[in-house]
Amino acid sequence: MKPSLLAASLAIALGTSAVHATDVPPPTSAATPVAAANADDPTDGGNRNRQPVKVQDLGAVSVSAALDQARNGLSPDTGSSQYVIDQKAIAQLPLGASTPVNQVLLQAPGVVQDSYGGVHVRGDHANLQYRINGVIIPESIGGFGQSLDARTIRTVKLLDGALPAQYGLRTAAVVDITTRSGSELGNGGSVGITGGSNGTLNPNASVWGSNERWSWFLTGNYLENDAGIENPTPGKKPIHDHTNQAKGFGDISYLIDNDTRLSFLFGVANNRFQIPNQPGLQPQFGYLGQVGFDSADLDGRQRENTRFGVLALQGKLGATDYQVSVGQRYSSLAYSPDRIGELMFNGVASAVSRSNRASTLQADFATPLGDRHTLRYGIYGSFERAISGNNAWVFPADAGGNQTSTTPINILDGSRLVAKTWSAYVQDEWSIGDDWTLNYGLRGDRYQLVRSESQLSPRLGLVWQATGSTTVHAGYSRYFTPPATEMIASSNIAKFDGTTNAVSDMGNNTPLAERSDYFDAGISQNIGSAWTVGVDAYYRKVRRLQDEGQFGSALVYSTFNYEAGRVKGVEFTANYEQGPLSAWFNASLGKAIGKRIVTSQYNFAPDDLAWVNNHWIFLDHDQKLTSSGGIHYALNDSTGVGADYLFGSGLRKDGDVPNGASLPAYFQLNLNLSHDFAFDRFGKLHTQLAVLNVLDRTYELRDGSGIGVGAPQFGPRRGVYLSLQKDF
């Protein structure tokens, strides 16, 4: 079925209701009649997480709401920078609930878009930790942000800066997702479809409800289009870029008693991609008797699978709130090359496979100590098995790398890795008087792969409620970030000696854990009842700075380290919400540099290595200025209009030196319109229409040059989409 049979385009305005989390309390259930005298107080900006009062109404909905509040109390906010986007804000985005999670995150300050759906927060490459209802979900090989459906989200909070001791391992930011709940929504469901440009077809279905002590929320969707990966050319229609993606998520809960809940979270993603082609390239190698090959006819393909399941027990023992969970995540990636074509263009054609199975244990506790202190403590453990394979075809070559035969040879290479991670933390949240909150703690992490690495990391965060409308925060965190095991592929480099894929075996080929000192300070100001503005500054001094690069045709990143790094920046955010009008604006100024590559040097050209050994360079994902913003106006209860934009000064590319120049700045403007139609027998039908990149500006995210950068990628051209959604 072709989406051209559907009306074109989806979308609706952006979510201006996205607000700085230091300005609002954590969300509570709309169905909750529970008093929250000890929960976050709106007058203090939601900075203090205290224990909820005991629920008097023991109905299932009230008990679930109280447990939700207790779960929020397990995760402190003090001292870090935060930004919250709720379900209303997501619904107002150009593609509404069909928006990929990475595109949702681009609405927060300090988040930079990159190719292949990647995002960078505050000068870091990936290094994001995803949590669902407080439970850590290990990231998949293909990027967990592309495996989760935004329809599951009630709120998503981006936490970065100087994080409390509870957060570790992945420290660029914590993507803290609270899912929609059947106990909150009642019994019902939703079905819908989105269609439009580039052959887009995206049907979806959800069902939710509760029955006595049971509650559930289940959702699934299917996506196909002809622009699955960024176009390597500036043209409107990519060549060989079809994708098929299926995703599902479920949250099933059972109330064991009035203080205890057992939940099962699970998700699955099955994604298939064609690798887009760049026409007009010239073959560099001969294959048997063949000397010509049209690069537009290459047929590289990649498939990615992810599935996870988590069993979580949450409850209360005396005055102590707890949540204990066990889970497993399996992720795999397989790249199938066009053997003849890639041999002729690259001198190597590799069928790449990677898989990673992570089994996890997590336990978090919160115990109030009198009226002024809350002690939080917990442990985390992960056991990972990673397998990588490389079935490569290459040509024989002389010492200078010149092809000596047009008959290819086959080389098999692969590895199996076992990684173990153990973490423990303890921290105290101390309310000093009515206006000051101090959060201090200590975290210990140990990561074992080829070698063992560990670190004790102190954390300190301070919040001052200067006035009823002014909140100041500052913090320091010592971070320990082990390499992403799923990104490590040990290669036997010597196997490729005397071939067109030969490289120098230099240095340490196993990535190292990153260690850094992070300083963060900011202020948030409410102006009247409508405006909220904030400024935040950060500085990070790094040893063994981790970065990732794409080496080869497969769309998978591999980790390497710089000996040292420096990252700094400042962010500004403003939000307005009054009556039918809401608007928001974010701007970030940043700088990220590194010096001397100390691991996986075989992936780089000798000239680049020599320069980076003696000079500071910009990281390839550095972008000096990033901005996002939007406006939404509700014409009436059933109709809304909006506009939003993304701006970037451009990622890095090679200049006179590696990463020495930047790509041109880009600006993408999106417009949208939504309307709810009412029919006598059918009921309400929600429609959303959007035009993405309405100015049809051509802009380049990558030009194919830079340290660890693969092929060129361009941003999307103008697209029109229509979405129809029916709740029942």
Low-confidence ranges of the chain (pLDDT < 70): 1-62, 77-79, 142-145, 490, 505-507, 552-554
Could you tell me how many helices (H) and strands (E) the chain has, helices first?
6, 34
- Rounded to two decimals, the pTM is 0.86
Give the CA angle between residues 496, 498, 501 to the nearest 5°: 45
Q: How many CA atoms lie within 13 A of 673 on its CB side?
A: 5
Nearest to 650 by CA among 574, 718, 711, 706: 706
* DSSP code for 92: T
**Radius of gyration of the chain from Cα atoms?**
25
Written as six digits, the tokens of 151 are: 């329809």
What single string gives the DSSP state of each residue in 324-358?
Answer: EEEEEEEEEEEEE--HHHHHHHHSEEEEEEEEEEE
Nearest to 686 by CA among 676, 695, 678: 676
Q: What is the pLDDT of residue 55?
A: 35
The string of pLDDT tens digits covering residues 526-573 is 999 899 999 999 999 999 999 988 776 667 778 889 999 999 999 999
Distance separating alpha carbons of residues 133 and 34, to the nearest angstrom: 20
SS3 for 21? helix
What single string gives the DSSP state of each residue in 550-571?
Answer: E-SSSS-EEEEEEEEEEEEEEE
- H or E segment to which residue 308 belongs: strand 301-317
CB neighbourhood size of 530 (10 A):
14
Q: For the structural domain made of 3-226+238-382+398-419+619-727, what CATH number should be given?
A: 2.40.170
Beta strands in 226-294, from DSSP E residues, in sequence order: 243-257, 260-274
Question: What 3 state SS string does 538-551 have?
Answer: EEEEEEEEEEEEEC
Q: Is-contact 509 483, C-beta < 8 A?
A: no
Written as six digits, the tokens of 389 are: 């394979």
Q: Where are the domains of the chain?
A: 3-226+238-382+398-419+619-727
The string of pLDDT tens digits covering residues 689-727 is 999 999 999 999 998 888 878 788 999 999 999 999 999
SS3 for 643? strand
